Structure formats: structure tokens, C-alpha cells
């Protein structure tokens, strides 16, 4: 997977004066991976074109002491798409989000953006993991009635054996491994040539306890699941906002402001079932 192509990230940032905007610009301008930047104090909007993960950009913004909420993600170029008389915005090709939760303190947000007909970007952050590699897969079913156990098998519409993301022989849902640092956070930005946003909406995303052997191991499960152990956390993949498609300032779920919503946990204690939905974080 190649993670070098820049995308545009739209943030709402608490700014009330030009000195606020200056601080945000100074935190981002010239940083490796940041290609361009636009800051609008009046709308409290920051638009960043970058090859960094959304979590990395958000961390840079919040290093100024101001809160930031990612509101949209889109491509940085226009492409020719079959059936369209003119190239549409890349955000028009589809975006999705999965809110992951699992046992203990595991929680995360993973976003999908269709960059072109051939390339899908997967940008995510998962907290609460044990340090090391963890298998990441799209599963067939968007069913959480038995937590991650009811998500079905890996998404595999062509009946292939399990493999790595760079392999021709692989499940479409095989996304390889993400690596958690010593603090338990896995932050990643991947591009995949087989996954399509329009095919995975309504399915589920699962992160496993162990490392996926990419179908190269000797264990009987290697060619089936990558022998990556139990399913630690999962979430349903839901349609999400592209660039400038989410004007929300108050959460429709519980009436709190965007900034109050920012302080609530993604899932688990402190968050009611009514708000544990992807729409609450678009």
C-alpha cells in the first residue's frame, strides 16, 4: 500500500481572532507532509492538503491549545470517471467511516475515501491496543448483535484465499496489519487498489488481537484468516461526509454543540447508546 498521495482535510477549529489563525498557520506551515493550507476565522474552518494522517494533522492544530474536529475528507485532484461528462470532485466518489469499539478501552475511528476508481484511502486511529501489529480486515456483515463475532467472514466476493494487501490472491477485505505504538495507539494511512467505498458501506471493519501472517504461515488458518487471533474491536462502515458536506454545529443525536461532542468518548462509558453511531462524528 502506498500512503504518499495528499488528500484534503476539512476541520472546524475554535478560533475567535486573527492571532488564533496565525497560531494555527504557524503550527502547520512548512511541516513535512503539509502541502497547502487555508484558514478562515469567520467560519472557524481550516482546510489542509496533506499526506499526513488526519490524527497527525489534528494533533498539530491542537498543539496551539485550540480544539479541532475533522468534518470532511476529500481528494486533492480531479479525475476522469467513466460515465461522467466532466471530472467530478474526488469527494463525490464516496466516503465512509467506521467507529470501532471493543473490550476494555479499545476505541477508534477509521475513514474511507475513494480517491479514484482504482484507489481507496483508509485513514484511521485506534487507541487501547497492545503494542505491536494487529490484523485489519473488512468483514462481510454489518451485524454487531453478538459484538464482533457476528460480523461474518472476511469480505471475499471473488472466493480467493487470504493474503496480503499487495497480493493478487487475497480477500478484498484483507488490509494487512496496523502497528500500535507503546502508548497503545495505531495511527495509519493506507491506499488499497481492491477496496471500493461503494462495496463496503453497510459491512464491518474488525481489528484483531494479533499479527496477520498474510497467508504465508504454516498454521491451518493462515490461508483463511491470517491466523491473527480473536477479534478485538469492530464497527459498522457507514456513509460519511466528503468535503464541505457537513455544516453541523450541533449534534442531532443529543443536542450538544460540536465542541461538547468533541469532549465525549467515541464509545463505551460516558457515551449513551443513542449517540454511539457514525453519524455523531461525521
> What is the reported pLDDT for 83?
52
3-class SS at 26? helix
Nearest to 95 by CA among 58, 126, 54, 135: 54
Tell me the per-residue pLDDT of 190-214, one tens digit each, with 9 for 90 and over.
999 999 999 999 999 999 999 999 9
Tell me the per-residue pLDDT of 207-257, one tens digit each, with 9 for 90 and over.
999 999 999 999 999 999 999 999 999 999 998 866 655 555 434 444 434
Domain residue ranges in the chain: 7-75, 91-239
- What predicted TM-score, i.e. pTM, was given to this entire model? 0.73
> What is the reported pLDDT for 92?
63
Exposed e or buried b per residue across 97-125, where buried means at least 16 C-beta atoms within 10 angstroms of its C-beta: bbbbbbeeebbbbbbbbbbbeebbbbbbb
- Alpha-carbon distance of 70 to 58, in angstroms, equals 8
Task: Domain 91-239: give its CATH architecture.
Answer: Sandwich (2.60)
> What is the reported pLDDT for 70?
84
Q: What is the end-to-end Cα distance of the chain in Å, rounded?
A: 25
Under-70 pLDDT residues of the chain: 1-4, 76-92, 241-282
Question: Does CATH place domain 7-75 in 3.30.70.100?
Answer: yes
Amino acid at each position: 500500500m502506498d500512503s504518499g498521495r495528499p488528500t484534503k482535510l476539512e476541520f472546524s477549529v475554535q478560533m475567535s481572532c486573527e492571532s488564533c489563525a496565525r497560531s494555527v498557520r504557524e503550527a502547520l506551515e512548512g511541516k513535512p507532509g503539509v502541502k497547502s493550507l487555508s484558514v478562515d476565522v469567520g467560519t472557524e474552518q481550516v482546510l489542509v492538503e496533506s499526506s499526513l494522517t488526519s490524527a497527525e494533522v489534528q494533533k498539530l492544530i491542537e498543539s496551539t491549545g485550540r480544539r479541532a474536529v475533522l468534518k470532511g475528507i476529500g481528494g486533492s485532484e480531479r479525475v476522469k470517471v467513466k460515465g461522467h461528462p466532466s471530472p467530478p470532485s474526488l469527494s463525490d466518489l464516496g466516503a465512509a467511516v467506521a467507529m470501532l469499539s471493543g473490550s476494555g478501552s479499545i476505541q477508534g475511528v477509521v475513514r474511507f475515501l475513494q480517491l479514484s476508481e482504482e484507489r481507496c484511502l483508509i485513514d484511521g486511529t485506534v487507541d487501547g491496543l497492545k503494542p505491536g501489529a494487529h490484523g485489519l480486515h473488512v468483514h462481510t456483515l454489518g451485524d454487531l448483535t453478538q459484538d464482533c463475532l457476528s460480523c461474518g467472514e472476511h469480505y471475499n466476493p471473488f472466493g480467493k484465499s487470504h493474503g496480503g494487501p499487495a497480493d493478487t490472491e487475497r480477500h478484498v477485505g484483507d488490509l494487512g496489519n496496523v502497528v500500535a505504538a507503546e502508548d497503545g495507539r495505531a495511527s495509519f494511512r493506507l491506499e488499497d487498489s481492491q477496496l471500493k467505498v461503494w462495496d463496503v458501506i453497510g459491512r464491518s471493519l474488525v481489528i484483531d488481537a494479533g499479527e496477520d501472517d498474510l497467508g504465508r504461515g504454516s498454521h491451518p488458518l493462515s490461508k483463511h484468516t491470517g491466523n491473527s487471533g480473536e477479534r478485538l474491536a469492530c464497527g459498522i462502515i457507514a456513509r460519511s461526509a466528503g468535503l464541505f458536506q457537513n455544516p453541523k454545529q450541533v449534534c442531532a443525536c443529543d443536542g450538544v454543540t460540536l465542541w461538547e461532542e468533541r469532549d465525549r468518548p467515541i464509545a463505551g462509558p460516558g457515551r449513551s447508546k443513542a449517540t454511539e453511531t457514525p453519524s455523531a462524528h461525521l
